[in-house]
Chain A
Amino acid sequence: DTGVSQNPRHKITKRGQNVTFRCDPISEHNRLYWYRQTLGQGPEFLTYFQNEAQLEKSRLLSDRFSAERPKGSFSTLEIQRTEQGDSAMYLCASSPRTGWGSNEQFFGPGTRLTVL
């Protein structure tokens, strides 16, 4: 499968715990995006990377959230001291900088987080 992959697909944690999600973009896509989607809502933008540089961050990305893309390939999203309000689907997307598909974002299957 050459699409965007995300792991884990589901995560259940207790309030106050830290969690980390991983996203592997489509090979050679140098742009990577994270979104959060709560039940019944559309996805909301969290952050954007071009290669290893984090170029855009939403105000939704509080200081408990941190995202990295150390080698410009896979990315991780960490949430510290989770709260029940963090329960959501976390979606990752990627796109190439140029060429076919450069104007589209291709989404992964998401990681569903439940905070008890």
Chain B
Amino acid sequence: KQEVTQIPAALSVPEGENLVLNCSFTDSAIYNLQWFRQDPGKGLTSLLLIQSSQREQTSGRLNASLDKSSGRSTLYIAASQPGDSATYLCAVRPGTGANNLFFGTGTRLTVIP
């Protein structure tokens, strides 16, 4: 069974700092990997999706990379802002064609003004 791990579980940074969130998965046979943001008590907002054949995706201040062979992805956030405070989740879709996503437990980010 696919296991997804996110480190660190929580992170606190001062405003303006660049930061990296890590995601690792045990089965490298994935179809794609998706990064989500979740605000307290809310649903998930998709941030970036990386197909298995891609190495990275960028959206504004966010950059996600994928190293499928080593089972790792990183989410880089540049020039962090207090509004970035949320829990960030990564999820992988199996390469078997199954439609379910396997999620990590998330990294809770706090950006201090």
Contacts and interface: CB of A to CB of B under 8 A. Distances in A.
Interface string A77-109: 000000000000001010000000001111111
Chain B interface mostly? strand
A42 B46 contact: no
Given A42-B91, A43-B44, A56-B98, A105 B103 contact: no
Contact of A45 (B41, B51, B100): B100
Contact of A48 (B44, B89, B100, B102): B100
Given A42-B4, A42-B89, A112-B41, A106 B103 contact: no
Contact of B43 (A33, A44, A91): A91
A105 B43 contact: no
A80 B41 CA distance: 24
Contacts of A109: 42-43
B34 A104 contact: yes
Interface in B56-113: 89, 91, 93, 98-106
B46 A103 contact: no
Contact of B100 (A56, A107, A112): A56
Interface residues of B, number: 25
A106 B34 CA distance: 11
Contacts of B42: 109-110
Contacts of B43: 4, 6, 91, 107-110
B32 interface: yes
A20 B95 CA distance: 33
A44 B100 CA distance: 9
Contacts of B105: 40-42
B103 to A, nearest CB: 3
21 contacts: A4-B43, A33-B100, A41-B105, A42-B105, A42-B106, A43-B44, A43-B89, A43-B103, A58-B100, A91-B43, A91-B44, A103-B31, A103-B93, A104-B46, A105-B34, A105-B46, A105-B101, A106-B46, A107-B44, A110-B43, A112-B41
